[in-house]
Chains A and B, each alone.
Chain A
Amino acid sequence: MNKDILICGVGGQGTVLASRIIAAAAMEEGSPVHSAETIGMAQRGGSVTSHVRVGGEAYSPMIPFGAADMILAFEPGEAVRNLRYLRQGGVAVVNTAVTKPVTESLKDTGYDGREMTEYLKGKCACIFVNAEEVCRPFGSTKFFNIIMLGVAAGSGCLGLSKETLLKQIEQYVPAKFLDANIRAFSAGIEIAAQANLKGE
């Protein structure tokens, strides 16, 4: 199996952990895996991406434009910025809640993400998730990355079993937050089920 999964967002949203868990789950299922992350200065409030490449035919550490089977976008503007990575027929899971950069607050251009979600609808198969709403029962946005993983798993486009992913979540999250993370993962799966996606 070859699968390319691009995770994008803004520094500090927990995208790196999501990519680690996907990579570990793919390894657990016996596939060769490669991944790459944004590290360093760009992490300070900048756009970040993680590239996860499952399968033996990946040479470049980064996914080529037009090759990603799935984009997990933690921010709507970042989904649009990285849309060129998505293959024809690929699926985007997109958080509709925006992270406003400082430049935006200074100029106040009214960026609220609606334009982005409208644009995305016309471009590819999407599952929209509003982080603020789905995180409310958890009292913190800390679990949002695991909710996104749940959506990805539930969509069936990840090519990984929910059980394997859950096993890796258990490995990677602190024990005291494990129950909340399991609930977050289940909530994500539920969102995907309701989205009733007609992707390829």
Chain B
Amino acid sequence: MTQQEWPLWEVFIRSKQGLDHKHVGSLHAADAAMAMQNARDVYTRRLEGVSIWVVESRHIHASNPDDAAAFFDPAADKVYRHPTFFEVPDSIKHM
């Protein structure tokens, strides 16, 4: 018996029109067509989706959690990017 696993795929599902595809999990399949059918059977048995994306896991590049502090640091000290940073007089409406 071969110990050869089918490749791993990540599954993304759009739950309804107007919403993003969201990661729901992964599965094994020999090719994209099978990944699509397996994704339907494993992740949408109760009408959880109207659209599926599958992508082989090896194609995903991820940020490194150990570097997260430095990597996301540039956003940390720019509070003026948020509207609440600015004070608006009470009498000013529609802003």
Partners in one complex: no
Binding site for A on B (CB under 8 A): none
